[in-house]
Structure 1
Amino acid sequence: MDSRTLLALVLSIAVLIGFQFFFGGDVSQPPSEETGVENVPTTGISEQASDHEYGERILTDGGADVSSLSSIRKPDIPVDTKAPLRKARDITVETDLYQLVFSERGGTVKKYLLKQYLTTLSDDAAPVNLIDVSSLHLPLGLQMESQPPVDLSSQFFEPDKEGLKLTQAGEEAQLKFTCNMSNGIKITRAYTFHQGSYWIDLSVYLSGAGTIPGTLCLYNKPGKEGSGLSGFTYSKFTFTGPSYYAKNELHEIKLDDIGEKHAYTGPVDWMSYGDDYFMTALVPIVSEGPWNVLIEKKEADGLTESRLTALKPSLKDAGQGVEVLNLGVYFGPKDIDRLNALGHNLSKAINFGWFDPIAKPLLYFLKFLYRYIHNYGLAIIIVTILIKIAFWPLAQKSAKSMKTMQKLQPKMAKLKEKYGKDKERMNKELMQLYKTYKVNPLSGCLPMLLQIPVFFALYKVLLQSIEVRHAPFMLWINDLSAPDRLMIPGVNIPYLGGIPVLTLLMGLSMYLQQKLSPSSLDPMQARMMQFLPVIFTCMFINFPSGLVLYWLINNVLTIAQQHYVNKFTD
């Protein structure tokens, strides 16, 4: 087997198994102790800090070293045993983008429906709901870090309005929830909503109890793999779970790998739970803090609690109490333009792993094309053509070299016959032959080799970008992020359902490409190469249809180029 054929086979296998290695993303494991992050044992957060008003040890430069919430001594908030015993009302807030339902009990979020994103493509599909947890673990639960800590999720928060509906462009509205405890302590949660934005401003005020750090909690769990039935759908090739961005580094926390708890103390840009398409995030307005992040696995089904604590709340009374928390809340899609506009490094939540330097520009360019042609399938075709043009000189040189190699086959056969028993001499003579005719035996595989990073980057974009989720192309292809299937009534292929027409066309294009390419005189090599279209067809059968479209168009352009070389090159 010559080196060109061997390399082609190696590249094919690399494409086949490479995505299983790369597509998990560049998941940052918890930093070492030098970065201020530690894996926490089940006993809780570190208690090594000396006593301080906010339970932290303050360095001379104003930064926080190690947090110890349990060192807080005063003032305390006693549990209110006289909370009203009645059914909690639902308070609904509606904008053009979402419908949010609060519960009076705890002032927590009970439901969050994204109006512009549906769970499936069916006509009766429901909007994506980012809240899929039990009533015992609703997001935006509040806890005051007194001694002992007081969980306010069971306390009633009275709203100042029965609900809100924003209808005018640029409209803003505020909703306040107030918990008046029987001991005279008052806690107010003030939300400000913005029409046309997923961003919500949140301030928490404490009156009658001095200044005590406050904690907000996120509760989330992944949906079933590939189900698409909940906001957070699990995929074994990408990351779904809690994360935070601190000190210019993204930390994606896999609790199954590092233990039941993970903690960090220091400046934080944001803390979130997310998957490929959506995220729920808490964003400190003043990121320096210091803040305490505690992420804990609560139940076997993957339910995760993420807690964000302001260790140094404001000392100023804002008229309705001391502001103990000042945050932005973002519950919505991982739309790169929206996240960039909001700042706070939120766009770093879109993580394409090792291929980020290629995937991000590719995504921006696809979005640029979409603004004019309004079809991501056509945008992919244009990108494929432009990539082919960029590689045209190299591919043209490679095609000519392969044709020259075909002409040299008789001479190579004679050398193998003459020096077959002397491998060293035969290789030396072959190298001299290549040098004489100025050909490179590996040049035929070079264009494919250079396109592999683009291939992987496009896969990541199609798999993880909200922009192409449920994006139609034409005919039966109604979702470029999903495998193509032509559904015919009465036809149900086992394990596939419909007919993968686009994938079969891609396999056929590879077969035609091989027929036009210079063939090897070695029958064994020829038979091995004939299996490549079958291998690629099987491999692509469950790939996103947008990726299959890219490879199909690339093959068609390669066939046209090879036809040109065969016809007009001596």
Structure 2
Amino acid sequence: MDIYRTFLAIILSFVILIGYQYFFVGFGPSEVSLEESAVQKESVATESSVPQKAAITATPATMSADVQSMVRPERDAQTIVVDTDLYTASLSEDGGSVTSFILKDYRETLAEASLGMEMVKVDGTEGFPLEFSWGSVATTGTFYDAGGSGVTFQGNTGKLVMKGRGNGLELVREYVFSKDSYLMELKVRVKNVSSGVLQGNAALHQSNTPFRETGPGSQFLFIGPAYFMNESLTEVDSDLYESGPGTVSGQMDWAGYEGTYFICAILPQDKSATSLTMASFGEDGVKMQMNSDLDTLQPGEEKVYSYKLFFGPKKLDVLKSIGSNLNKAVNFGWFDVIAQPTLYLLNFFYGIVKNYGIAIILVTIIFKAIFWPITQKGLKSMKNMQKLQPKMAKLKEKYKGDPTKMNQEVMNLYKTYKVNPLGGCLPMVLQIPVFFALYKVLLMCIELRHAPFMLWITDLSAPDRLFIGIDIPYVGGIPVLTLLMGGSMFLQQKMTPTTADPTQAKIMMFLPVLFTFMFINFASGLVLYWFVNNLLAIFQQQMINRQKKA
């Protein structure tokens, strides 16, 4: 076996893996397909999700003859504004839902005039987030009187109480807000004020369309409904609900709508939610409905449904502080064991230097230092292999008619000169998981969103472009950092010892061109890592070359 053909195959496999990630959805997310759902229906209690067809409305209530009609005052519904240190939320008395939720610390775009990040991207046609239904009390049309008082903050905590009445029910919604947290609380008290027995399912509703997010992460990573149920994360394949409503059942920690950097999540309390129904609307909208089991209310009886709500950034330390496994929404997949320490290192260095570009450089140096001894041995092994080429050429010529004997003599040559034929490949193989872990971190972590580095690089989550007043076709501006990365990779290839035949050598020299085109739309933070890694590799190879000359 020609070891260099193996080495080439490893590199090309590496390219194919990156290319697949580049053009498709990414690594790690678990998906629920319609075929899987048919099998899972039989084991609701033990499986992480049990898709099945279900209506998007709650079970109708069984009503007595004295059912009351919906109670609405003659005045128009008011909008209550909740202003905290982190967000400004607007809630309507019409349905008691959230009609706007603007994050103060995150902007829609990099433009100076850009407003804060809006988490509610629907116009109300398909409903607003956090509408509530119970039996025949619909999600819309129920008027919740806020009493004209709005939100009263006492210290760090504010409370909003909204009351609705109709169809034999009295409903009281109590929101609790914190000035310094994205986490909110919602309790809905449902009381039977009729003279008959009522039955119905409680359901908290949410409608979402994709958030506006910059950078390649929004193209390559998961966007859509997700939930953590039965100790397992599921990022839902749209096949489950595009052809009609689909339902999953089980012990639910949370469910929500994910973007690359943000999430709107509902965390049911007291184990009240037992299923989640999803349906599509419009071009890319998703309606979600968190359902309880069927409840029966005797006259005068009431039941309280409790939820925690998180509308905010997918920042790992923030999500961990919430609990309920909400941190699993930051899904690094197979590379989590490397990615999480990498993110910690990135934030640690940022805390010192206050620049994520420099933090990436420092993290790159740390990883290069860890792999330095292994890489050193690999490069030396390749250098020694290069010196053996004349002897190997003679053996191949001598035993060209006897491949078995030729391989035996080549292996004896390796033993005589203490050369490991796999020594040059091992460092590359070991670094592939690290590269993919960094790839996931640099694409997914919200810390890099709109984070500047220097000069023309003002957003490390977006592709590198230097605009010079000329619109370059298919590119826009000049990808300066990407071109530098390609040039450094070419120089590294020229300096690295090789025993490949001329054809293989030409193919290897084409790889920098391929990587340059592939990286042209990658986040500039990832390109920066690869560029610095190449420079360090060049420095290491130069040291080895000087040692050999000495």
Q: TM-score, normalised by structure 2?
A: 0.89
Matched, 1:242 2:215: no
Q: Deviations over 1:130-169 (max 9, x none)?
A: 1111223111111112xxx220411221113454486x9x
Of residues 112-121 and 202-211 in structure 1, the stretch that sits farther from structure 2 once superposed is 202-211
CA distance in 2, matches of 1:72, 1:269: 27
The 5 A counterparts of 1:59-138 are 70=59, 73=62, 78=67, 80-81=69-70, 83-84=72-73, 87-136=76-125, 137-138=127-128
Contact 1:359 1:457 in 2 (8 A): yes
Of residues 82-91 and 212-221 in structure 1, the stretch that sits farther from structure 2 once superposed is 82-91
Q: Which residue of 2 aligns with 1:58?
A: none
Q: CA deviation at 1:397?
A: 0.8
Percent identity, aligned pairs only, is 43
- For these two proteins, the number of residue pairs brought into alignment is 531
Counterpart code for 2:443: L
CA distance in 2, matches of 1:234, 1:556: 26
In 2 relative to 1, CA 17–305 (structure 1 residues): closer, same or farther, beyond 3 Å?
same
In 2 relative to 1, CA 517–527 (structure 1 residues): closer, same or farther, beyond 3 Å?
same
Matched, 1:188 2:200: no
Matched, 1:172 2:157: yes
Q: Which residue of 2 aligns with 1:26?
A: 29
Of residues 79-88 and 451-460 in structure 1, the stretch that sits farther from structure 2 once superposed is 79-88
Q: Which residue of 2 aligns with 1:143?
A: 133
Secondary structure of 1:269 counterpart: strand
Q: CA deviation at 1:409?
A: 1.3
In 2 relative to 1, CA 79–392 (structure 1 residues): closer, same or farther, beyond 3 Å?
farther
Q: Which residue of 2 aligns with 1:511?
A: 490
CA distance in 2, matches of 1:197, 1:331: 10
In 2 relative to 1, CA 80–465 (structure 1 residues): closer, same or farther, beyond 3 Å?
farther
Q: CA deviation at 1:346?
A: 1.0
Q: Deviations over 1:85-130 (max 9, x none)?
A: 6543221111111110111211111111111111111111121111
Contact 1:281 1:331 in 2 (8 A): yes
Q: Deviations over 1:491-546 (max 9, x none)?
A: 22111111111111111111211222224373222222211111111111111111
Q: Deviations over 1:270-327 (max 9, x none)?
A: 11111111111111122x3352221222x2412211111233779899xx98343111
Secondary structure of 2:424 counterpart: helix
Secondary structure of 1:38 counterpart: coil
Counterpart code for 2:106: Y
Counterpart code for 2:462: A
Q: Deviations over 1:217-241 (max 9, x none)?
A: 01112257x667xxxx984421111
Secondary structure of 1:527 counterpart: helix
Counterpart code for 1:301: E
Contact 1:269 1:283 in 2 (8 A): yes
Q: Which residue of 2 aligns with 1:328?
A: 308
Q: Which residue of 2 aligns with 1:366?
A: 346
CA distance in 1, matches of 2:52, 2:68: 28
CA distance in 1, matches of 2:368, 2:70: 71
Counterpart code for 1:130: M
CA distance in 2, matches of 1:515, 1:91: 66
1:262 counterpart (246, 254, 258) = 246
Matched, 1:350 2:343: no
CA distance in 2, matches of 1:75, 1:387: 70
Matched, 1:301 2:283: yes
Of residues 302-311 and 114-123 in structure 1, the stretch that sits farther from structure 2 once superposed is 302-311
Secondary structure of 1:272 counterpart: strand
CA distance in 2, matches of 1:202, 1:161: 19
Q: Which residue of 1 aligns with 2:430?
A: 450
Of residues 76-85 and 345-354 in structure 1, the stretch that sits farther from structure 2 once superposed is 76-85
In 2 relative to 1, CA 78–270 (structure 1 residues): closer, same or farther, beyond 3 Å?
farther
Matched, 1:402 2:382: yes
CA distance in 1, matches of 2:182, 2:278: 24
Q: Which residue of 1 aligns with 2:205?
A: 217
Counterpart code for 1:453: P
Counterpart code for 2:284: G
CA distance in 2, matches of 1:261, 1:217: 14
2:471 counterpart (492, 496, 499) = 492
RMSD: 2.9
CA distance in 1, matches of 2:467, 2:511: 27
Counterpart code for 1:151: A
Contact 1:188 1:205 in 2 (8 A): yes
Counterpart code for 2:487: L
Contact 1:110 1:138 in 2 (8 A): yes
In 2 relative to 1, CA 76–367 (structure 1 residues): closer, same or farther, beyond 3 Å?
farther
* Alignment gaps of 5+ in structure 2: none
Matched, 1:154 2:141: yes
In 2 relative to 1, CA 271–75 (structure 1 residues): closer, same or farther, beyond 3 Å?
farther
In 2 relative to 1, CA 187–220 (structure 1 residues): closer, same or farther, beyond 3 Å?
same
CA distance in 2, matches of 1:549, 1:16: 21
Q: Which residue of 2 aligns with 1:476?
A: 456
2:190 counterpart (203, 206, 209) = 206
Contact 1:313 1:324 in 2 (8 A): no
CA distance in 2, matches of 1:253, 1:280: 15
In 2 relative to 1, CA 533–345 (structure 1 residues): closer, same or farther, beyond 3 Å?
same
Q: CA deviation at 1:417?
A: 2.3
In 2 relative to 1, CA 38–261 (structure 1 residues): closer, same or farther, beyond 3 Å?
farther
Counterpart code for 2:52: V
Of residues 511-520 and 553-562 in structure 1, the stretch that sits farther from structure 2 once superposed is 511-520
Secondary structure of 2:256 counterpart: strand
